[in-house]
Structure 1
Amino acid sequence: MGVFPDISTNLGDYVARFVDFLDESFEGLFNFIYLFSTQIINGIEGFLVWMPWWLLILLVALLGWYFKSISSGILYGVFLFLIGTFGLWEDLMTTIAIVMTAVIISLAIGIPLGVWMAFSKGFSTVMRPILDAMQTMPSFVYLIPAIFFFNLGNVAAIFATLIYAVPPVIRLTELAIRGVNKEVIESAESFGSSKWQMLLKIQLPQALPTIMAGVNQTTMMALAMVVIASMVGAQGLGEQVLVSINQIDMALGFEAGISIVFLAIIIDRITGGVADKLQKHRRAS
């Protein structure tokens, strides 16, 4: 009976050498990413902590009223108030800061890549299997390079979240750009519009509702990584869930878990409401 050759050790060695090469060759870049991400997180968290709790609740309630309904706005405000009564307000601010930072970086990377894929079939062909791998790879695998390059902490959590959360906005941006009415594009070309003019004044505005759906999905996937990211030192609500598991604390686990659910509902409904508003405006025009 034949035996398969053992290539696992050699393959693992090659991967380890490649990672060491990246760490040594791009140490300055990783340090810059670390400092940049830290500044963004600290800035957002500092602003949220500085803001009076009642003002943040009022702003969220107003957003819920504007994009959904009055009852929805009141409900979102109640959700935030309950999180505060659990004693998890500062953890909530940290979680929001981490999610917002991950989403901002994801959009800064994902939307341009999606536009590029829409205009280049070759690049799209190359990127699609990469995006498939990023979405299907177990989330815990992302934690290994995150720890290696950025050590434990919030930055490592953002790196792992970024890999998991960026594919939806890339895919939906490409889909949105490709789905713009060809008659509108041909009309713009007949008036002598350049590619940049068509992109900025026609294609992106027409594609914005679908892109916002991608923003919604990216935000929800970033929030889904909150608990997993706590395993690499991320603070916030996910850390409290991890603590409750280690201590078998049912009360803390329920409060931290339901707080994440409340936050997910608020983010999903408001970002979904933005997409709906844009879609209605597009149809009306």
Structure 2
Amino acid sequence: MASTLCKALPDILCQFPELGRSDMLTFRRTVDSGFKSFVRAYGDVIDTTMQPLQWFLNWLENLFTDSPWIIFLICLALVVYITGRDIKVTIGTIISMLLIGFVGLWEDTMTTLAMVTVCTLIAIVVGIPIGILMARSERAQSVINPVLDVMQTMPTFVYLIPVVMIFGIGKVPGLIAVVIYAIPPMIRLTNLGIRLVDKEVLEAADAFGSSNQQKLFNVQVPLALPTIMAGINQTIMMSLAMVVVASMIGVGGLGKNVLFAINNQYFTVGFLNGFALVAIAIIFDRTSQAFGKRLQKHSEVVHG
């Protein structure tokens, strides 16, 4: 009996790969057909829901590109100075933007800035409430953390597949792909900042009879602002990194030029557009860091 089983076992094991491939093929066909049916049934509804986002992105892009360059440059320099109060960063911003205009990349840079601005606003509006929810609920954190892990470790090109299937080629699918890639730091650092608030400060708020809502908005969020600003900084950096990948599905700007340079092996075109992306990244990075330090100092003065 044992010898018969031993002789039959290799034949059974040899059939496992074929059975596995057959089951996997059936599973893939079922999932793909189900997803396609979902897109056919609800694609128009989803497109209609996302239409305001398309209008806002187009409006902001037209505002940036149609504004006289000198007006935009002055406004940008004022925003950078008021936010960071660093004259060196402000001068560096002006010089960088002038160089970008000198090499003929002003309009593409404005398109990229509009895309990154909208992506960052969406990440803030969606990410901060989710981060607050995670900070206030261990159950929510245990559910959301694995999702964030998948979002951060999944290859970026994989994001494009379902987005393109639902929305097709265009700016909105690229925008959604960028947000999916860039939002995890916003959520994680909001959660971390609120959790790091000193318990003694919360106990003092309880002693004064503060409600949970008052503690959140008057104590926890203000004290967590430097960490939240770090999350915004990382979101901006990741949005800029994803712009090149998103250019494969119709997002214009500097990312499209980099993709064109890669396909045609144009070193100079790729280098100049890469320089523009680096310049924007440095401007955002230095400005947000300076603003975060100012918030940290203010928090230490108020609660020190």
With normalisation by structure 1, the TM-score equals 0.94
Q: CA deviation at 1:204?
A: 0.7
Q: Unpaired segments of 5 or more residues in structure 2?
A: 1-9
Task: Pick from 71, 78, 90 the counterpart of residue 88 of structure 2.
Answer: 71
Q: Which moved more, 1:15-24 or 1:176-185?
A: 15-24
Check 1:29–1:100 CA distance in 2 against 1; reply closer, same or farther (3 A cut): farther
What are the within-5 Å matches in structure 2 for residues 132-281 of structure 1? 132-281=149-298
Question: Using the alignment, how far apart are the partners of 2:243 and 2:161 within structure 1?
Answer: 16
Q: CA deviation at 1:159?
A: 1.0
Q: CA deviation at 1:188?
A: 1.5
Query: Deviation per CA, 1:225-246, whole angstroms, max 9, x where unpaired?
Result: 0100000111000001111222
Q: CA deviation at 1:71?
A: 2.4
Question: Does the 8 Å contact 2:89/2:287 carry over to 1?
Answer: no
2:4 alignment partner in structure 1: none
Q: Which moved more, 1:42-51 or 1:104-113?
A: 42-51
Question: Does the 8 Å contact 2:244/2:254 carry over to 1?
Answer: yes
Check 1:17–1:194 CA distance in 2 against 1; reply closer, same or farther (3 A cut): farther
Question: Using the alignment, how far apart are the partners of 2:71 and 2:159 within structure 1?
Answer: 36
Corresponding letter in the other structure for 2:60: I
Task: Pick from 35, 46, 55 the counterpart of residue 30 of structure 1.
Answer: 46
- Structure 2 counterpart SS, 1:87: coil
1:105 alignment partner in structure 2: 122
Question: Using the alignment, how far apart are the partners of 2:271 and 2:299 within structure 1?
Answer: 42
- Structure 2 counterpart SS, 1:203: helix
Task: Pick from 82, 96, 99 the counterpart of residue 82 of structure 1.
Answer: 99
Alignment partner of 1:46 is 2:62:
yes
Corresponding letter in the other structure for 2:301: A
Size of the aligned set, in residue pairs, is 285
2:138 alignment partner in structure 1: 121
Question: Using the alignment, how far apart are the partners of 1:18 and 1:122 within structure 2?
Answer: 30
Question: Does the 8 Å contact 1:63/1:270 carry over to 2?
Answer: no
With normalisation by structure 2, the TM-score equals 0.88
Question: Does the 8 Å contact 1:153/1:235 carry over to 2?
Answer: no
Query: Deviation per CA, 1:145-186, whole angstroms, max 9, x where unpaired?
Result: 111111111111111111111100100111111111111112
Q: Unpaired segments of 5 or more residues in structure 1?
A: none
Question: Using the alignment, how far apart are the partners of 1:111 and 1:144 within structure 2?
Answer: 27
Q: CA deviation at 1:14?
A: 3.5
Q: Which moved more, 1:253-262 or 1:67-76?
A: 67-76
Question: Using the alignment, how far apart are the partners of 1:220 and 1:184 within structure 2?
Answer: 33
Q: Which moved more, 1:160-169 or 1:247-256?
A: 247-256
Corresponding letter in the other structure for 2:65: V
Task: Pick from 16, 22, 43 the counterpart of residue 32 of structure 2.
Answer: 16
Question: Using the alignment, how far apart are the partners of 1:82 and 1:245 within structure 2?
Answer: 23
Question: Using the alignment, how far apart are the partners of 2:255 and 2:49 within structure 1?
Answer: 23
Q: CA deviation at 1:30?
A: 1.6
Question: Using the alignment, how far apart are the partners of 2:257 and 2:151 within structure 1?
Answer: 27
Question: Using the alignment, how far apart are the partners of 1:231 and 1:32 within structure 2?
Answer: 23
Question: Using the alignment, how far apart are the partners of 1:15 and 1:264 within structure 2?
Answer: 39
Higher alpha-carbon Rg: 2
